[in-house]
Every structure is written in structure tokens, then in C-alpha cells.
């Protein structure tokens, strides 16, 4: 009888033991990275707000040109946003 009690998991205090949650499954990884992002995604890439991205669209000639996929959403190629950030970083280092 004592052997059976020792082989079970220890109890934490009085009452019944806590439920053990099953391990969460890892989400399926997408082998292909996205090529396009919207204004919000571009803002996250440059670590600024969406209104800053809108301002860059109007005032900065080096900012990548957006294109439309669908009815209203403004999209950018992620690679062109990365190129913009690298170009600005090089300009800052050379100045």
C-alpha cells in the first residue's frame, strides 16, 4: 500500500492534485517569408507610427512607392523598405 502512494506524483497541500496541462503544440512554420506588407507592417519595420509612414509617402522622395493589391490597402515590398532603412543608415554614417 505504501509503495503505491510513493510512486504517484506528490500532492500540493490538501485537496485533489492540480491538473497538468498538455504541452502546447508549436505552430506550423511557414517556409516562405512574406514579400509584401501593409502600412502598419512598414511602420513596424522602421519602428515608427503609421502616420509617420503616411508623412514619408508625401514628403520623402526616397521612400518606396506603395502599390495597391485589392480595393484600398496600401502595400510595400518588404525588401524595398529594408533598402530604405539601410540607405538612411549609410547616409547618417557618412554625414
Query: What pLDDT score does 24 carry?
Result: 79
Output the DSSP codes for 16-31.
Answer: SPPPPPPPPPPPPP-S
Q: Is 77:41 a contact under the CB 8 Å cutoff?
A: no
Per-residue confidence (pLDDT) for residue 1, from 0 to 100? 52
Helix 50-59 vs helix 39-46: crossing angle, to nearest 10:
100
Q: What is the spatial order of strands in the sheet that 67-68 belongs to? A: 36-38, 74-77, 67-68
Q: Which domain holds residue 68?
A: 36-94
Point out the least confidently predicted range of 7-11, 64-68, 72-76: 7-11
Average pLDDT in the 14-26 region? 77
pLDDT value for 7: 54
Whether 23 maps to a domain, the answer reads no
Cell reading at 75: 502595400
Residue 28 lies in a domain: no
Residue 52 lies in a domain: yes
pTM over 0.75: no
Amino acid at each position: 500500500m505504501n509503495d503505491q502512494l510513493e510512486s504517484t506524483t506528490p500532492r500540493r497541500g490538501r485537496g485533489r492534485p492540480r491538473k497538468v496541462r498538455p504541452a502546447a503544440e508549436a505552430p506550423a512554420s511557414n517556409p516562405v517569408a512574406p514579400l509584401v506588407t501593409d502600412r502598419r507592417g512598414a511602420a513596424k519595420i522602421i519602428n515608427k507610427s503609421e502616420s509617420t509612414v503616411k508623412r514619408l509617402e508625401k514628403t520623402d522622395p526616397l521612400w518606396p512607392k506603395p502599390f495597391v493589391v485589392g480595393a484600398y490597402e496600401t502595400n510595400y515590398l518588404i525588401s524595398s523598405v529594408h533598402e530604405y532603412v539601410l540607405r538612411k543608415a549609410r547616409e547618417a554614417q557618412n554625414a
